[in-house]
Amino acid sequence: MRLLQTKSYELFEASDIPAPFPSYAILSHTWISCKDEITYQDMKTRTGDIKNGVYKQKGWSKLKDYCRRAFKDGWEWAWMDTCCIDKTNPADTQEAINAMFRWYQDAGVCYAHLSDVDFSKGSQIVSLTADTDLDSTTNNVLQAALKDAFIRAKWFTRGWTLQELLAPHYLIFVDHAWRHIGTRESWALEIEQASKIKACHLNAFNPTDFASCSTAMRFSWASGRETTVEEDESYSLLGLFGISLPLIYGEGGRQAFNRLQRQLIHVYHDDSVFAWRGSRSDPKLGMGILARSVKDFRHASKVTAGQYGNAYSMTNRGLEITSKYWRQRSNPDGVIVRLNCRIESVSDAEKETGIHLTHDAVTDVYYRARIHELCDLGHLDLNDWYEEPRREPLFIRADNYLETAASSAVAVY
């Protein structure tokens, strides 16, 4: 892990940082642009041009302002992804992405830079100077003035900033001029509006605690965010689950998300990973048990994990699952499988849920049907559905779907 010295703006390699490893500040931000940010290579080969004012001045100003902010607050060392990761080195990138959540978690403070929020727009309400920080005397008045801009900040739309919001023990928001505008705790209500994350998850997030925060719920937080590189939609979520994956840039976003789901199925036992709803409801389209994208979880913010999950594992035939299920009287190929997760409801404390499946006689496996909905088991029409007395394992297609004529001649699992 490389660090910047905040007083000199000098980049130190891990081997040159004094032992014991010092406390450090860390930055969460949205990039200006790839061509303007200061990179690791720039710090190694272009420092003369940078300091002489002829190269990447937008990025250099940002780096200096960040270091000045940290130095002013008493931090000698700081980390910034743009220049502290050698993105031309695959091994360095792999290590950084798999360690990212921990680096933010271990930081003494995280500065979340909202480049499109301007503190001074509240200056007509209270007396401010150019370098004023928000404090207890101006907090309520200015937060009210900045609320709309805060909620609309670009920072809340980016994929990588999700884990950067949850991982740090202490997070301070700064505006475009690097002035303090409050902490994660003081903006908790606005953060929930902007990110759909309840305040209870902001200060005590645990990647392995699925009882209080299900897989589906975490995916729902990411469903409205974007990443520049499509695979990063999945790679940016690794820290939220405390897992690692090999990075394969070029595999495509869907394949990356496929691997992420398979790893979660292998490591954890949370049925909510199957509680997604797709946007395509063509009855001729047979979907697998795995979602195509994190966006399929956009309606899953109220899905909670059950205490004991169903028995399941991924096989070469697809997902093998043993659970309570119901068969349709009017169509014996149609079944509903109970998931050991629930949906919070206004009218009921929680609703038991399940998914619709259809049997494919050619391959002798089931696939998702009616993917646009989950089944509310509390309102199951028992005139049309009956519970199978024996809980025999079912095999569900994993990820490939049938495009009718396009793939009906070949069975792929």
Residues 152-197 have pLDDT tens digits of 999 999 999 999 999 999 999 999 999 999 999 999 999 999 999 9
Residues 279, 144 share a domain: no
Domain for residue 131, yes or no? yes
Q: Are residues 197 and 220 in the same domain?
A: no
19 — pLDDT class (breaks 50, 70, 90): very high
Q: Write down which residue in 168, 201, 234 finishes a domain.
A: 201
Average model confidence (pLDDT) for the chain? 89
Give the residue-averaged pLDDT of 112-140: 67
Give the residue-averaged pLDDT of 307-319: 89
The residue among 191, 171, 193, 192 whose CA lies nearest residue 182 is 171
**Do 259 and 330 fall within a single domain?**
yes
At CA 113, angle to CA 60 and CA 230, rounded to 5?
A: 90
CA 400, 401, 405, 411 dihedral sign is positive
Considering the domain architecture, whether residues 33 and 167 belong to the same structural domain is answered as: yes
Q: What is the mean pLDDT of residues 401-408?
A: 41
Distance CA 197, CA 219 (A): 11
Summarize pLDDT for 319-332 with one digit per residue, the tens.
Answer: 999 999 999 999 99
Decide which of 201, 231, 265 is a domain's last residue: 201
pLDDT at 172: 97
pLDDT band at 47 (very low <50, low <70, confident <90, very high): confident
Residues 191 and 255 in one domain: no
Poorest-pLDDT segment among 82-86, 106-110, 279-283, 344-348? 279-283
Residue at a domain's end among 149, 176, 201:
201
Residue 63 lies in a domain: yes
Q: Is residue 343 part of a domain?
A: yes
The verdict on 125 and 223 lying in the same domain is: no
Q: Model confidence at 346, in pLDDT bands (50, 70, 90)?
A: low
pLDDT tops 90 at residue 140: no
Residue 172: inside a domain: yes
> What pLDDT, on the 0 to 100 scale, is given for residue 137?
47
Per the domain annotation, does 208 fall within a domain?
no
Map tokens 């642009």 to a residue. 33
Q: Verify that 174 and 244 share a domain, yes or no.
A: no
Both 226 and 195 in a single domain? Answer: no
Q: Which domain, by its residues, includes 162?
A: 3-201
Same domain assignment for residues 272 and 402: yes
The answer to the question of residue 206 being in a domain is no
274 and 399, same structural domain?
yes
Residues 264 and 157 in one domain: no
157 shares its domain with 233: no
Task: Pick the range with the lowest mean pLDDT from 58-72, 162-176, 260-274, 349-363.
Answer: 349-363
Domain total in the chain = 2
pTM: predicted TM-score of the whole model, two decimal places: 0.90
Residue 405 confidence (pLDDT): 33
* Confidence check: pLDDT of 36 > 60: yes
**Residue 329 neighbours by CB distance under 10 Å:** 13
The share of the chain scoring above pLDDT 70, in percent, equals 89
Query: Is residue 244 assigned to a domain?
Result: yes
User: What's the whole-number mean pLDDT along residues 372-379?
Assistant: 91
147, 152, 156, 173, 278 from 193: Cα distances, Å: 10, 10, 10, 16, 24
pLDDT value for 235:
98
pLDDT of residue 287: 86
Q: What pLDDT is recorded for position 204? A: 82
